[in-house]
Structure formats: C-alpha cells, structure tokens
Copies of this chain bind each other. A is one copy, B any other.
Amino acid sequence: MHNIRKPPTMADVAHRAGVSPMTVSRAFKREASVSRETREAVLRAADELGYVFDSTASNLRSQRTDFIAVTIPSINNANFADTVRALSDGVSERGLQILLGYTNYDVQEEERLVEQLLRRKPEAIVVTGGKHTPRTRKLLTNAGIPVIETWDLPEEPIGHVVGFSNAQAVREMVDHFVAVGYRNIAFIGGDASRDTRGADRRAGFIAAMKDHGLDAPRLIAAGPPPISMREGANAMGQLLERFPDTDAVICVSDLSAYGAITECQRRGIAVPEKIAIGGFGDYEIGAICVPSLTTINAFASEIGGKTAKLILDVLDGKLGEPGRVTIRPDLILRQSSL
C-alpha cells in the first residue's frame, strides 16, 4: 500500500489542509497571526500525515537555530551539571535549546569544540572559564554572537561574564582558618597546567597564606584534573607522610576533600581534632558526610540562571554593553573544621 515514501513536507500538509505552505509555517509558530480554525485544521492535517517539522530548513532560511552552545570541562561534574541545568531551564522557556560539549579540562580540546559548535550557528555561546587559546579567542570574538564566560572573572573578557573569583573564594577560607588558629595549612589540587580554575584556587591559597605571613610549602598535586575522591584520598596520604605537622587542608573540590576525610578515617586520624579539612563547591556529599564538610558554595545554579537571564536580555537587545555579573561565593562552616 505504501511505497518508500519521502516524509511529508509543509507543502503536503498545506495541500491536505487546503491552505498555502506559508500558512502552515505560521500555524507552527506560536506568535504568528493565523486564525484559530486555520491553525487547528493545519495541525490536524499535519498529525494525520505524521508530519514532523524540519528544523534544518527552518534554520537555514530564518538564520536562526535556537541553539545555545555551551562548553563545560566535564559532563561528570555536579557543579557544572547544576549550571547547565539551570541554564537550560532558563532558556528553554523561550524555545532555546542547549547544545552541549565538554573539553576535558583541555584548552586545545576547547578550541576544537568551539569551532565545531560555531559551525552550528548557535544564538549565543557560553564557555566555562576565561582562559583560551588565541585561536579560540579569535573564533569567539568574530562569531558575531553573544559570548558568555562563566565560572571565572577573566581580566580581559571576550564578551559577557557571569562568574566569581576562585582565588578570592579560597582566600576567605584561608582567612577563616588562620583566624581560628590553624597555621600549617596545606592545599590539595590537581596538576595546575590544565584546570585553570583549580590553578586560580591554588594561587589564591598561596597569596592568602603569604598575606598572613605564612609559607605555603604544603602543596600536593594529585594528578590531572578533575581530582577524584580516590585521588584526594591518595593525596591526603602523601600529605600526612610528607608534612606530619599539617593541621588543616584545603582541597580543590569537595570530592577530593571527602576522599581526604575518608583517608583520615582509615588511618584513625580525627577530623577536625587532629586535622581540619575544607573543600570547594558545596556538593551534596559535603552536607551529609560525617563529619560534614566545610566548603565554599559557588552557587553553580545561580551562575546558570543568571547566564540564562543575561542571554535572553542580550537577544532582546536590552543590554547595550557587555554584562558582568559577579557572584559572591559563600563560606560554609561545618564539622570538618573548627
């Protein structure tokens, strides 16, 4: 009964509904002016034919894709996932869809990814972090669409920014630790070469220590980012052996911090009595583990939500010049520190 038919087009729907293709097109748009009856007739015809709207043609002709391109370092990170979720929810109300890619914490990979994403002609592009290869910067600058850098406060932003200072956030934790009496404070992070946010946190740690007149020799690099719980635990082991007088540790993330806590538990070292531990990111585990974890809430969801709002404003032409939204992370004190 059916030959290998091509899928129906708007023309087919138009024919069946007794209208022009142009009217079918309008019937599929929310705001377009079509009479109620006509729209219903068109949608009914479309349904009967099993018509599926073809975005590829729409994208080309209208020069709009309704894509928002997003790059994150890793898809397996609850912080970035929170940001993406809030961003996605925020823009989806306007029919915008996230086109997501991950860079593996590698600026070269970011370059490839950004180029690939820009070919899809997104309405805007959101990148995590403010450090890029020269070619990435050039691509983003010339893309002709809004560019939003997040999770960082770049000194020379490409366009818009929704972020916070990783260094400053860690500084506040150091200030607190010093205020309550810790002196031999260590820092556990990943190899600094790749994860720029992690490097900023470590730099903030060192600078803050210096400002308190303290040296910062206790630096453990636990491997290529992201640092897992396991790597955090291993780093804690190293730390305890190399610097037995350490009285507090700040970890680059809650995950590594939790790993560090468990390593102390396995070694029978009391947290926080013998050693205090701080994390970063306010992951769920930090609130529920025993002892609970002192950490920094960087408001990952807010970053996504405010990025979404920024994008909508820019696309609406409500924003003349590049926006700069600064988030102020919160120090959350819990049982793992005094």
Chain B residues with CB under 8 Å of A287's CB are: 230
Interface check A233, CB cutoff 8 A: yes
Complex partner residue of A229 from B63, B115, B285, CB under 8 angstroms:
B285
- Residue A65 interfacial (CB < 8 Å): yes
What residues of chain B lie closer than 8 Å to A289, measured between beta carbons?
A: 262, 289
The verdict on A56 contacting chain B, using a C-beta distance below 8 Å, is yes
Selecting from A33-41, A117-125, A217-225, the interface stretch reads: A117-125
A78 partner residues in chain B, CB cutoff 8 A: 76
Q: Chain B residue with minimal CB distance to A58?
A: B119
Interface size on A, residues (CB 8 A): 52
Residue A59 is within 8 A (CB to CB) of chain B in the complex: yes
A97, B52: Cα distance in complex, Å = 21
- Do A285 and B285 form a contact, CB below 8 Å, given A60-B57, A81-B81, A99-B99? yes
> CB distance A284 to B230 under 8 Å?
yes
Closest B residue, CB atoms, query A263 = B288
5 shortest A-B CB distances, which residue pairs?
A56-B59, A76-B81, A55-B119, A265-B290, A56-B60
Distance between Cα atoms of A67 and B118 in the complex (Å): 15
**Interface membership of A75, Cβ < 8 A:** yes
Q: Which of chain A's residues 256-274 have a Cβ closer than 8 Å to chain B?
A: 258-259, 262, 265-266
If A100-B100, A144-B7 touch, whether A288 touches B120 (CB-CB below 8 Å) is no
Residues in chain A within 8 A of chain B (CB atoms): 7, 50, 52-57, 59-60, 63, 65, 75-76, 78, 81-82, 84-85, 88, 97-102, 115-116, 118-121, 139, 142-144, 228-230, 233, 255, 258-259, 262, 265-266, 284-285, 287-290
Contact of A97 among B85, B116, B285 (CB under 8 A): B116
A228 and B284 within 8 A (CB) = yes
CA distance A55 to B284 in the complex (A): 40
B85 x A76 contact (CB < 8 A): yes
Report the minimum CB–CB distance from A117 to chain B (whole Å). 9
For the complex formed, measure the closest distance between the CB of A133 and the CB atoms of chain B, giving whole angstroms.
Answer: 15
How far is B7's CA from A76's CA once the two chains are assembled, in angstroms?
Answer: 36
Task: Check if B230 sits within 8 Å of A259, measured CB to CB.
Answer: no
* CB contact under 8 A between A262 and B288, given known A120-B55, A144-B7: yes
Most chain B CB neighbours (cut-off 10 Å) among A54, A55, A115: A55
Query: Nearest residue in B to A290 (C-beta to C-beta)?
Result: B265
Closest Cβ of chain B to A286, distance in Å, is: 10
Across the interface, do A288 and B56 meet the contact criterion of CB distance under 8 Å?
no
Question: What are 30 of the A-B contact pairs (CB < 8 Å)?
Answer: A7-B144, A52-B118, A52-B119, A52-B139, A53-B119, A54-B121, A55-B120, A55-B121, A56-B56, A56-B59, A56-B60, A56-B120, A56-B121, A59-B60, A75-B75, A75-B85, A76-B85, A85-B102, A97-B101, A99-B99, A100-B100, A229-B284, A229-B285, A230-B284, A255-B284, A258-B285, A258-B288, A262-B289, A285-B285, A289-B289
